[in-house]
């Protein structure tokens, strides 16, 4: 967890010094937005280059409905690439389930998903769901899944099943490529190769930065692709930010010529949360290319527990 108070923290990743910042998003310009209709006059899939034919052309969602119900569509992807990303999305589904529950986000069938944890040697799993009144309910396999904190809050822990972190990054990268204007996509076509690789090279910075807001701000998913508007050799050229429910997520697109230092602006906390003494940003490592287990933790305030939580 990255907790910052306007000062600049840093950490290292594969020999690269990383400097997270809160106040630099203004130097980026939005060049792609998921609410805009994207139509491409192409006879080939923009990802793999295969010819698009009547029996090899999908009209799938540009933004997977795992992020929430939306009407985004594309007409530039072949069935093969759509099926491949469908396999990646199984890991995204595992990753998003806790976020959807905490945000009370309904799926396309109008239901909030239910969560069942790993066993981890316990007699039964922890189960969490939201009833029709919007109250969190379920049963705990261990009190460690609902830990009290010194400030009176509680940490609700979702012990997730196995998922492939690198596949999660690929889903976000694929969405970012889909949002690129045609001329930008042609210029940055080298990025597509990373969708079909199973290894991580120096051009990739496979981390996700997640911010959880105080209340539901984004009832429908919104994705923004941003490009650096000024010259700065240590800033990544492209960022993508996803907004859904109570969550903001940011990824860095591949960097053609990585430097030994990188300055990354965090999701727009200042604009959404307003000025406050501390901001919390969770840094999620997506470097693992194998299925792995992980935990996702949320802080719940004690003063809302009596009416909102019944375990």
Compute the average pLDDT of residues 11-20.
86
User: What confidence category does residue 4 fall into, taking pLDDT thresholds of 50, 70 and 90?
Assistant: very low
Q: Does the pLDDT of residue 102 top 70, yes or no?
A: yes
The residue with greater pLDDT, 159 or 272, is 159
Q: What percent of the chain has pLDDT over 90?
A: 50
The residue with greater pLDDT, 218 or 92, is 92
Q: Does the pLDDT of residue 52 top 90, yes or no?
A: no
State the average pLDDT for the chain: 85
Compute the average pLDDT of residues 167-188.
95
Q: What angle do CA 307, 281, 97 make, to 5 degrees?
A: 55
The residue with greater pLDDT, 90 or 9, is 90
CA–CA distance, 280 with 282 (Å, rounded to integer):
7
Cα 191 vs. chain centroid, distance in angstroms?
19
Under 8 Å between Cβ of 89 and 66? yes
Q: Does the pLDDT of residue 303 top 60, yes or no?
A: no
CA–CA distance, 197 with 242 (Å, rounded to integer):
24
User: How high is the pLDDT of residue 217?
Assistant: 81
User: How high is the pLDDT of residue 5?
Assistant: 38
CA distances from 21 to 119, 172, 273 (A): 38, 21, 15
């Amino acid at each position: 967890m990255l907790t910052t108070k306007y000062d600049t923290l840093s950490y290292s990743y594969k020999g690269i010094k990383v400097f997270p910042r809160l106040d630099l998003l203004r130097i980026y310009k939005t060049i792609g937005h998921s609410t805009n209709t994207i139509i491409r006059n192409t006879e080939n899939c923009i990802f793999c280059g295969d010819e698009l034919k009547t029996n090899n052309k999908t009209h799938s969602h540009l933004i997977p409905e795992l992020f929430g119900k939306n009407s985004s569509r594309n007409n530039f992807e072949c069935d093969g690439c759509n099926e491949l990303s469908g396999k990646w999305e199984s890991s995204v589904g595992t990753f998003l389930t806790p976020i959807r529950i905490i945000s009370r986000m309904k799926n396309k069938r109008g239901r909030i998903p239910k969560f069942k944890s790993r066993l981890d040697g316990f007699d039964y799993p922890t189960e969490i769901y939201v009833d029709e009144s919007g109250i969190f309910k379920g049963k705990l396999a261990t009190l460690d899944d609902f830990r009290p904190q010194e400030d009176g809050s509680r940490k609700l822990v979702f012990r997730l099943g196995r998922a492939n972190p690198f596949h999660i990054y690929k889903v976000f990268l694929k969405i970012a490529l889909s949002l690129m204007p045609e001329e930008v996509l042609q210029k940055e076509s080298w990025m597509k190769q990373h969708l079909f690789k199973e290894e991580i090279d120096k051009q990739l910075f496979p981390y996700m930065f997640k911010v959880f807001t105080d209340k539901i701000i984004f009832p429908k998913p919104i994705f923004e692709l941003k490009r650096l508007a000024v010259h700065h050799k240590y800033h990544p050229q492209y960022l993508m930010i996803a907004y859904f429910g109570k969550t903001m997520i940011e990824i860095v697109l591949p960097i053609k010529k990585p430097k030994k230092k990188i300055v990354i602006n965090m999701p727009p906390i200042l604009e959404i949360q307003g000025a406050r003494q501390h901001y919390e940003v969770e840094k999620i490592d997506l470097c693992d290319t194998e299925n792995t287990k992980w935990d996702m933790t949320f802080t719940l305030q004690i003063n809302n527990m009596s009416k909102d939580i019944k375990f």
